[in-house]
Structure 1
Amino acid sequence: MHPAQPVFDPAHAMGLPTDSPLVLGPMLRYVGETSATVWAQTAEHSVVTVTAGDREWSAPTFRVREGHYALVVADGLPVGSDVEYELRVDGRLVWPEPDTPYPHPRLRTLDHDRPTRLAFGSCRVSEPHDAKANKKNGVDALRTLALALVRGEEEWPDLMAFLGDQVYADWTSDEMRDFIASKRDIDEDPGVEIKDYEEYAHLYWLAWSDPANRWLLSTLPSCMIFDDHDIRDDWNTSWTWHEQINRTRWWHDRLVGGLASYWVYQHIGNLAPDELAADEIYARVLEHAAARDAGPSGLRDQDELDLTDAVFDLVERVDRHPEVYRWSYRRDLGDCRLVVVDSRAARVLEPERRSMLDEQEQRWLDEQLTGDVDHLLIGTSLPFLLPPGLHDFEAIDEVTAQGAYGRPLAAVGEKIRQVVDLEHWAAFNDGFEAVFDMVMDVARGNRGRAPATVTFLSGDVHNSYVAHVTDAAARHGARSTIVQAVCSPIRNPMPMALRVLMSGMAKSLVKPMNAWARRSKRVPDPAYPWTVTHGPWYDNCFAELNVQGPDLVVVWRGGEVRGGDDENPALTTVAEVKIAGSR
């Protein structure tokens, strides 16, 4: 059993009315052709019901620590349906809220004959939306999208893919710091950073409770994957980093609290109903609900399932043996397949066999990367294709840190790796080469009909750009256009001085780093070169990927305050790029 924790009243802590049955949500998560899942957090043990027309679906809450959660599976929906829904807690209507200014939330199932419209982005801090916060953090592009949809100024995406850093456990807002100070001494480690599951629960509430964003997440399907700041900056950079962080007294609580809360707040919503049934932890929820349904007393009179030990035991095992659980997943969108890859927790850090993906994860990804789909999308929080000069810089630092130039320089390389965040795919070259070979195999048509495009979707780097594999057809026999599209940040802009530095480095490093890499036998030379064709741009934004037959059109959209109205930013277009697919 895990140690008893302080009693945590989320409604009271979050400033909600103490009689409110709904703490957070609802959030529309997985959507397929005939089913959808709706996630909610409630104030106490209850039954959560989704109603749409004359249909209703219910699920009892399960408990993790002092939080109560439900994921309602709405099945048997018509293909391509678009229906309003309501959420009830123990029969009480809680969503939509009375007198809400926002439209009714809807369940929109997929129609595979409709061209896909996918929004994506990463890196969003949980800050207010007033003039002071907007001056510091820029306008929240996600909230701008919500307001544009309310006003009918934007077409509805089929899905929003959040590619990392949905919450920042290490860079906390004033509101989060006030909450932390109310429950523990911030002069003790980890100070104003997140410490445990209860603090994560409040962090998610801050991230998703703004009225406009909360409405958006209740009616726009979403999928998610973590990056480092969901846990801590540079999470799993190297074996040395791993050893250093594990010497602290607070890291273990942070890690298990972060992964446990990720499972609850993000991961289970990524899964289709059949995947939920196969999940080793969530299967207990379904079994418990079935037993309660079969019982003579009905649902509400039965004990709530406490998943605390099961979830925390899982993440303890994941910490020691990442291969025991897979955070990656796949979504089929008709003309597209989206494969979302965990590029954080599945890493192999032992110096003699470093890889971004362990063997099981790599084998799973290999199985997902096949043809016979119009467009293959690979979501990974870290850009697979960095600007070439930066890629070479990371590759050079990697071999240096691994001792290729002697032990003294190895220590310098490790220090640089941690300070400058040199831990992208280039720093795990074996995994990088293996995934690139898989992609090229798909693009050559060796795994079924070659897609028109193979596109990596990423975030993390606080700037946005597009890169293409150079002469993929002529030089490598590819029948697909191979592209990297990056969108970052949604709300957390890079400081101006750093923008200038990064832009200069991205351009000035290309020739010297390439020359060094080519001349050194120790630095691997990429088998399939690429170049940045558009960008970078540094605005807060989200991206829209629109399928147009064999082509993709990607539009980066941001927000702008006009007339001093910080609460109602206008939607702007930052950039637009057409990606010509193979015909």
Structure 2
Amino acid sequence: MGKPALVLGPMMRHVDQSSANIWVETGSAARVVVRAGTRSWEARTFAVHGHHYALVEADGLEPGSTTPYQVEIDGAPVWPDPDSPFPAPVIATLAPERPLRLVFGSCRTSIDHGRSGNRTHGVDSLRAFALQLARKPERRPDLALFLGDQVYADSTTKEMQKFIRARRDLKEPPGKELKDFEEYAELYRLAWSDEANRWLFSTVPSAMIFDDHDVRDDWNASRSWKRKMEATSWWHERIVAGLASYWVYQHLGNLSPEQRAQDPLWQKIAAHQDGAELDLSADLDAFAERADKEPRSYRWSYCQDFGSTRLIVIDSRAARDLDPDRRALVDDDEMAWFDERLRGGFRQLLIGTSLPFLLPTGLHHVESWNEAMSEGAWGRFASAVGERLRQAIDLEHWAAFQNSFRKVAGMVQEVADGRRGPAPELIVFLSGDVHYSYASEVERSTGSRIVQAVCSPVRNPLPLAMRSFTAVMSYGIATPVGALAARSIKVPDPPFEWKNIKGPWFDNNLATLEDTQSGLSIRWETGEVDHRDYQHPRVREVSAVLLEPRGSAGMQPADLSHADPAERHTPPI
């Protein structure tokens, strides 16, 4: 039996006021047509290692319009399924003055949605959200932002292992982990094939950035880590496949038409108009190999403006400089790009980074201490101990790259103080990774409020025993002990102080961020099963905050009249 005409998708990717990009994977070389209203757009597929993909740009659209659409492959309708229980998918363009509504989260495993999957990994918050949205499509967000670990290349499910076992011996490296592009393609298929989530992807624009598990745990934690990986027999094929598949499945759809036109790989696709389907395999592999060896050769970060809100999504994995003399979470070129876009003049400035910029203070101090020790502040023996500790408990966030942390902290304070144009009301870091959710805020009396909001995981909860350890490390004894340890090794105090304002909690969550008249509303929601109806979980609010602009204590409560009753009691913070 051959592959279906439509293997994955359609996925609604970058959308602006006048255009929308729709991504698909097809079963064979084909011409893909998107029809909406009286108009149609088409694209030919390109091939990568025997798989076929197309990105259709629907342009010339009206701002603020919402239009149902259909997808055809070689003239045959393939989406939506006429028997689908879900509403028709739509192309919904941005409206210049419409306040932003965005959902975000990270860390989602591809486990079945029945009793056994929920017992080990909890209810999929993304799927619960999709089912709720299908009942209330008027609550459609403008963007779904996925902040890393969309797929787990190093911790595979039984279904994925069955696929691997049919191709090779699991006793040979890399064992149950992914080896090549073919296995990545199957991993994405498993992650994005659920009926409800597939419908969600087809109607809500999405943006993505990788984190470590998209490639491997602790990816680029240190030069020592990278050298250890490069000494294996399998790492080269893995990193090439990881970055190549990420470009196809995630990154390509992040780009606006203007940004895509500057991409050297897309230029090859766009230039190929006649003859047989373009096979991009060799070019993509060479690109991925170069991107790993020379991080400055390609940029994975991106930026998009939504009316009065700017979103900057920054790569905190591949753009690292691991040279001990220049150690940085974000290398000089990437930092300069970020610096150029970090400007005032917006109501809100959102910074998407898979790794939390503001960790709980105890963990921040522990990571800064560990970095100094690992980099030799206490000698060679202590350095080796510090490196083992760094990799064992993932001490490699912004706090573990103090030069980068301090640089960004200074830049953000300049924006908040109005030294880079009119100060925004709010500067909010959106992050994931840590497998618990919380909100914290820099202690400031003037200028913009600077807030960290974390939503993790979407579906991959920490075991109960690990939750206690994490709470102690982040909020318990680690706070005073971490500060003493950092000072003992002469790590300077942070350039500002911050406090926890919500959390932590360990539920599977998806967060919704919404611009309201009185400020920015953020609520975290989880999925719950009633009466063992595992296929139809409901959404329950876990926590919520309303981030009011500074000096707005006398303002009226946020306009949440369109929200569900449970959402109308968002407490101001």
Same fold, judged at TM 0.5 (above): yes
Q: Which amino acid aligns with 1:268?
A: L
Give, in whole Å, the separation in 2 of the partners of 1:159 and 1:456: 16
Give, in whole Å, the separation in 2 of the partners of 1:191 and 1:19: 27
Q: Residue 309 of structure 1 aligns with which residue?
A: 282
Give, in whole Å, the separation in 1 of the partners of 2:462 and 2:548: 30
1:501 and 2:485 aligned: no
Q: TM-score, normalised by structure 1?
A: 0.93
Q: Which amino acid aligns with 1:408?
A: F
Query: Any residues of structure 2 matched to 1:76-115 within 5 Å, and which?
Result: 76-115=60-99
Give, in whole Å, the separation in 1 of the partners of 2:184 and 2:389: 30
Q: Which amino acid aligns with 1:233?
A: D
Most deviating of 430-439 and 535-544: 430-439
1:352 shift after superposition: 1.5
Give, in whole Å, the separation in 2 of the partners of 1:18 and 1:412: 53
Relative to structure 1, the CA distance from residue 153 to residue 564 in structure 2 (aligned partners, 3 Å threshold; closer, same or farther) is: farther
Q: Which amino acid aligns with 1:201?
A: A
Query: Any residues of structure 2 matched to 1:27-42 within 5 Å, and which?
Result: 27-42=11-26
1:570 shift after superposition: 0.7
Contact 1:452 1:550 in 2 (8 A): no
State which of 399, 403, 416 in structure 1 corresponds to 2:372. Answer: 399
Q: Residue 276 of structure 1 aligns with which residue?
A: 260
List gaps (5 residues or longer) in structure 2: 552-573
1:254 and 2:238 aligned: yes
Find the residue that maps to 1:58 and give its secondary structure: strand
Deviations 1:344-385 (A, max 9, x none): 000001112110011110000001100111000000000000
State which of 484, 489, 493 in structure 2 corresponds to 1:525. Answer: 493
Give, in whole Å, the separation in 1 of the partners of 2:187 and 2:471: 32
Q: Residue 566 of structure 1 aligns with which residue?
A: 534
Q: Which amino acid aligns with 1:481?
A: R
Runs of 4+ in structure 1 off by over 4 angstroms are: none
Query: Any residues of structure 2 matched to 1:15-54 within 5 Å, and which?
Result: 18=2, 20-54=4-38
Query: Any residues of structure 2 matched to 1:117-266 within 5 Å, and which?
Result: 117-152=101-136, 155-266=139-250
Q: Which amino acid aligns with 2:448?
A: S
Most deviating of 134-143 and 278-287: 278-287
1:557 and 2:530 aligned: no
Q: TM-score, normalised by structure 2?
A: 0.95
Deviations 1:193-251 (A, max 9, x none): 11100000000000000111111101110000000000000000000001111111111
Give, in whole Å, the separation in 2 of the partners of 1:550 and 1:482: 17
State which of 512, 520, 523 in structure 1 corresponds to 2:481. Answer: 512
Give, in whole Å, the separation in 1 of the partners of 2:22 and 2:154: 29
Q: Which amino acid aligns with 1:83?
A: T
Identity of aligned residues (%): 51
1:520 shift after superposition: 3.4
Give, in whole Å, the separation in 2 of the partners of 1:48 and 1:156: 26
Q: Residue 425 of structure 2 aligns with which residue?
A: 452
1:153 shift after superposition: 8.0
Give, in whole Å, the separation in 1 of the partners of 2:522 and 2:178: 35
Give, in whole Å, the separation in 2 of the partners of 1:246 and 1:276: 31
Q: Which amino acid aligns with 1:515?
A: L
1:343 and 2:343 aligned: no
1:537 and 2:509 aligned: no
State which of 441, 454, 458 in structure 2 corresponds to 1:486. Answer: 454
1:521 shift after superposition: 6.0
1:380 and 2:353 aligned: yes
Contact 2:329 2:404 in 1 (8 A): yes
1:184 shift after superposition: 0.7
1:515 shift after superposition: 3.1
Query: Any residues of structure 2 matched to 1:287-326 within 5 Å, and which?
Result: 287-289=271-273, 292=274, 302-326=275-299
State which of 333, 347, 351 in structure 2 corresponds to 1:360. Answer: 333
Give, in whole Å, the separation in 1 of the partners of 2:2 and 2:110: 23
Q: Residue 7 of structure 1 aligns with which residue?
A: none
Contact 1:374 1:550 in 2 (8 A): no
Q: Residue 5 of structure 1 aligns with which residue?
A: none
Relative to structure 1, the CA distance from residue 467 to residue 154 in structure 2 (aligned partners, 3 Å threshold; closer, same or farther) is: farther
Find the residue that maps to 1:188 and give its secondary structure: coil
Find the residue that maps to 1:410 and give its secondary structure: helix
1:581 and 2:549 aligned: yes
Give, in whole Å, the separation in 1 of the partners of 2:135 and 2:203: 15
Q: Residue 557 of structure 2 aligns with which residue?
A: none
Q: Which amino acid aligns with 1:216?
A: L
Give, in whole Å, the separation in 2 of the partners of 1:197 and 1:19: 17
Contact 1:453 1:550 in 2 (8 A): no
Find the residue that maps to 1:327 and give its secondary structure: coil
Find the residue that maps to 1:183 and give its secondary structure: coil
Give, in whole Å, the separation in 1 of the partners of 2:220 and 2:171: 26
Deviations 1:151-194 (A, max 9, x none): 22872111000000000001111110000001111110111111
Q: Residue 382 of structure 2 aligns with which residue?
A: 409
Q: Residue 561 of structure 2 aligns with which residue?
A: none
Find the residue that maps to 2:112 and give its secondary structure: coil
Q: Which amino acid aligns with 2:128?
A: T
Q: Residue 3 of structure 1 aligns with which residue?
A: none
Contact 1:53 1:85 in 2 (8 A): yes
Q: Which amino acid aligns with 1:328?
A: S
Give, in whole Å, the separation in 2 of the partners of 1:427 and 1:20: 46
Find the residue that maps to 2:530 and give its secondary structure: coil
Q: Residue 418 of structure 1 aligns with which residue?
A: 391
List gaps (5 residues or longer) in structure 1: 1-16, 293-301
Q: Which amino acid aligns with 2:248?
A: V
1:534 shift after superposition: 0.8
Give, in whole Å, the separation in 1 of the partners of 2:394 and 2:138: 36
Contact 1:148 1:154 in 2 (8 A): no
Contact 1:163 1:458 in 2 (8 A): yes
Q: Which amino acid aligns with 1:140?
A: D
Give, in whole Å, the separation in 2 of the partners of 1:154 and 1:191: 46
Give, in whole Å, the separation in 2 of the partners of 1:114 and 1:81: 12
